[in-house]
Amino acid sequence: MSPVRRCSRTACGRPAVATLTYVYADSTAVLGPLATYAEPHCYDLCAEHSERLTAPRGWEVVRLADSSGPSRPSGDDLEALANAVREAARPRERAAEAGGPRTADPMEVARRGHLRVLRSPDN
């Protein structure tokens, strides 16, 4: 038996990426991330079949997002991280923490350690 679970649809041999279950009492089909193990009353679906899934008339389809996998950082996230590292490495910030003169930021309301509370730009 193959360690990779396959799509439950007839004649489809693609790897499963989602699990479909039904809540008959609520007339709801729930499509979520691939279950940790195969259950007899659930259906494993490949990416194509999970995207094309439709429910019977009068039923609702609930699609649960897969949040288990690590999300890839966006360019904005990486740029923000690089800017934070550059700002933390500036010599003037180290002098300010040591009690030296610090330039006042008009947007800064308070400071606690390395964290700053900023005034809302709307105010």
CB 9 within 8 A of CB 49: yes
- pLDDT of 95 > 60? The answer is no
| Paired strand residues for 111 | 116
Element (H, E) at 86: helix 75-89
> 49 or 83, which is more confident?
49
Torsion angles phi and psi, residue 92, rounded to 5: -65, -30
Model confidence pTM above 0.75:
no
**Residue 37 CB neighbour total at 10 angstroms:** 8
**Residue 5 CB neighbour total at 10 angstroms:** 16
- pLDDT of 38 > 90? The answer is no
